[in-house]
Structure formats: structure tokens, C-alpha cells
Amino acid sequence: MKPQSSLLSALLLSLASLPANAHTGIGTVHGLLDGAIHPLIGIDHLLVMLAVGLWAAMRGGKSLWLLPLAFVSAMGVGAGLSMSGITINAAETWVAASVVAAGVLVWRNSNMSSVFAVALVSVFSLAHGYVHALELTDSANALAYSAGFLLTTAALHGLGLAVGVLAAARVRMLGAGLGLICGLVGLGLLAGV
């Protein structure tokens, strides 16, 4: 088995064994606007989504569309799991870990197969979608709320892509800077700071 496959398997198994945490913070959620704002008010979500776009630009080729599409798709699945009442243990821990991982990915411009890159991005985006959907209340329009956070997520990926493409000569420096910020914020989140 390849080391990448072993790592992915370990990540997936760990996801099922960690304790549950709740994600709260924006109050009553009703619809599209609340969903659109949600990714912008959490530094964890904002950094990861920008980093995925930047990493896609750094990788180039089919990653330009493949990584953002995989993130948004798996995020929708995570939201669906949450709305279905399925529990993802320690989803908040996975979100915090994704900030650190995104930082390492853009800092190192990790060279890995597209399949593994998509799988890694998908595992973390599943947790992001799950915690976004935990904000839903009984009176909320779940479809509109989900559409809102998925659209903002796609826009943030687009912003990361645009920065990476427009600053191609400085993309390594941008990756290192964003990687450092993500790493520090992610470690702070994991430490409960």
C-alpha cells in the first residue's frame, strides 16, 4: 500500500473515533444570506477556503477546477450528513486540523497525485460542511442556507485561485505566508486558544 493511501485510511478511521464537539456562533440561521455570511465570519473556514484555491493555482492544470469542485461537493455531502442526523465525531477538531493541513499544503506546495489531493481536500471539506449545517434551526430554510455557504465557498476558492494565478511570480512566497498564518491559527484552534 502506498504511503498516501495509508495516511488517507488513517485519517478516515480517526474521523470515526474522535469525541463530538458542537459548532456554534452565528445565532439563528434562516436562509441564503446567513449561509453566505457564515464562511466569512469564521477564520478557520475563511483560511481553508482561500488556501484550497491558492493550492489549486499552485498545482495548476486540472487542479484549477478539480480541487475547488471536490471541496464544494464534499462540503455539500457533509451538510447533508448533518441535516440527516448523522454524527461526525469531533468535526470541530477536523475543521481545526484542516487549517493546519491547508497551511502545510500551500507552504510546501505539496506534490502528490490528484487522486490523493482530492481525497485529502474532501475529507476536510466534509467536516466544514457538517459544522456549517449544525447552525441550522427548525425554522431555517436548509436548502437556501446550504446554497449560501456553498456559493461563498466557491467564491473564496475563486479568490484564492485568482491571487495564485495573478501573482504567479510570487506564488511560492504567498503560499509560505498563507501557510504560516494557517498553521498558527490552526494550532491555536486545536489548543483551544
- Total-model pTM: 0.78
pLDDT of residue 174: 81
Per-domain residue ranges for the chain?
A: 27-191
Do the Cβ atoms of 96 and 189 come closer than 8 Å?
Answer: yes
55-81 pLDDT, tens digit per residue, is 999 999 999 999 999 999 999 999 999
Q: Decide if pLDDT at 156 tops 50.
A: yes
Q: Is the pLDDT of residue 177 over 80?
A: yes
Would you state the pLDDT for residue 75? 94
113-129 average pLDDT score: 94
| Percentage of the chain lying above the pLDDT 70 cut | 84
41 Cβ contact list (under 8 Å, min separation 6):
25, 26
Model confidence at 94: pLDDT above 50: yes
pLDDT of residue 163: 86
Considering only CA atoms, which of 84, 34, 27, 47 is closest in space to residue 180? 47
Question: What is the longest distance spanned by two Cα atoms in the chain?
Answer: 49
More confident residue, 110 or 77: 77
Among 22-26, 34-38, 42-46, 62-66, the range scoring the smallest mean pLDDT is 22-26
Residue-wise DSSP of 14-44:
HHHHSPP-----S----SHHHHHHHHHH-HH
13-32 confidence digits (pLDDT tens)? 444 444 333 344 445 567 88
In order, the DSSP letters of 38-74 are HHHH-HHHHHHHHHHHHHHHHH-TTHHHHHHHHHHHH
For cell 486558544, what's the residue? 193
